Amino acid sequence: MNRSNRFAYFLFLSTCLAVLIPALALAFFAEPFGDDFARALVVDVPHFVRTDYFHWSGRWAALGLEATLFSKLPMLSVYSGILLALQVVHFLALLAFWQMLVGSATSLRHRLGLALGSFVFLLAGYPEPGETVYWATGGIEYQLPVSLALLLLATVCSSTSSSLRPSRALPRALALGLLAFTLTGFTELLALILLGVLFTGIVLILLERRPNLGIWLILLVFVALGTAVSALAPGNAERAAWQFPHRSISQGIVALAKQLMRVLRWIDLKLVAASVLLALTFGSQLRPSQQDPSDRARMRTWVIPLAGASILLGCCATIAYITGDPGPGRAQNVLYMTFCMAWFTSLLMLLNAAPALSYRPDHSQVRIWRNVAAVVFCVSLFASTNNGLATRDLLFDALAWRRAMTHRYELVRQAARLNGAAADVVVPPVVYPAMFSRISEIGPNPDFWYNHFFAQYFGVRSVRVGDSPVQ
């Protein structure tokens, strides 16, 4: 490895550590919130899932997993472990994502670097990291299904790369189909994305005359059925009528326009620098001679971007129509992940068609511009808003937050010991770290349903927030 490459790798790894350490360390200070306590109170998981399906949400798989984890485990003790486990799965999913795209064209070290870089890139760019990275319910319902979907797609691509006999293809298709059906039960947004990706895969298989079309068709049928089961749940209609009673087409159009403006803002300096760095570092390793015939590569340069833009637009329009606004932060995080994956996939498809490009820099120019792109990319990651907030929270607010929450728990437990189920507890408000912002904090009204679940979890009659904050 020459001096130029050593500089780029050192800068890259140093920046990744500078972003990862505060972001992941904050997970050790995270505490459960509203929906987490509701899941922890579940006694009969099947009954809970069935009731919510008919009266609240069609996310049967996520609800079942959350209720099982939080009710069977000591939630307060294992909460940070659950959050970190979600991030480990997400990193493995990103590794599988790059394995799908570059395969054996690059070394394992390079694929690990791509996975690490994209993992850090997402942490630095999430619109609302607190709602998936530091909130277990949000992470299970919105980040985990994306991770599992990437692992599923990587398995499908690797297992269908060569023609299979029907005796092997059918059992494999049914097993993968059942997994895909389960994934649609995590969140409706992921179901729509998975539908679009599978449909795009089938289009490419037909155009390129690849084998094992039947497996992809079976998967599409399972996902379509799962999407219908999830999206058409009676609970979704009941909840929409309660939460969004006055939504209209005009509101949806305005919300869609706002969301598309947000998407345009995601094309920022770090995305451009990452794209240049990816092209200059791996472009020469992803030639059609190593991957696909040039006509196939050129075809993918318009199929993949068109499909990615259509999937993203469809998800934005669906959220805008249902809610009448751009949607919650956790949904924004999923859209951001979808946008980034579509962007980099489209870029790699363009690199596969690189012989059609008229300009090719020489090696000295590549080294210079790669180092420039590496510096810009690393500086933009380090200077990102999320990294600044996470670093500040870890240095100044995390310990105070932990002491305040520990004090709150002690007050409630003490009241429960003294007065049992008849206790009415007043706790002081706490100041949230910036990365932990939530919509589900308990408030001054003891009848608020988050307060109700919090009180039930600790075995008291009611809990409400008082006036003086804990320092």
pLDDT in tens, 325-338: 888 899 999 999 99
Mean local confidence (pLDDT), 424-429: 93
Beta carbons of 42 and 456 less than 8 angstroms apart: no
Residue 42 has pLDDT above 80, yes or no: yes
User: Letter for the amino acid at 357?
Assistant: L
**pLDDT for the residue 396:** 94
Measuring CA to CA, which residue among 337, 310, 371 is closest to residue 133? 337
138-142, 204-208, 428-432 — most confident range: 138-142
pLDDT at position 265 over 90:
yes
- Taking the CA atoms of residue 108, residue 111, residue 117 and residue 120 in that order, the dihedral angle to the nearest 10 degrees is -80
Residue 101, pLDDT > 80, answer yes
Which one has a higher pLDDT value, 357 or 178? 178
Domain boundaries in the chain? 3-383, 396-465
Which residue shows structure tokens 């990294």? Answer: 387
Per-residue confidence (pLDDT) for residue 470, from 0 to 100: 47
Please give the pLDDT value at position 294: 59
Structural contact between residues 259 and 315, judged by C-beta atoms closer than 8 angstroms: no
State yes or no: pLDDT of 47 exceeds 50.
Answer: yes
Residue 111 has pLDDT above 70, yes or no: yes
At residue 354, the pLDDT reads 60
The pLDDT tens digits for 2-11 are 666 677 788 8
pLDDT (mean) for 62-80: 96
What mean pLDDT comes out for the span 290-317?
81
Q: Find the helix or strand (DSSP H, E) in which 425 lies.
A: strand 424-427
Mean of pLDDT values over 343-351: 89
Evaluate if residue 281 carries a pLDDT over 50: yes
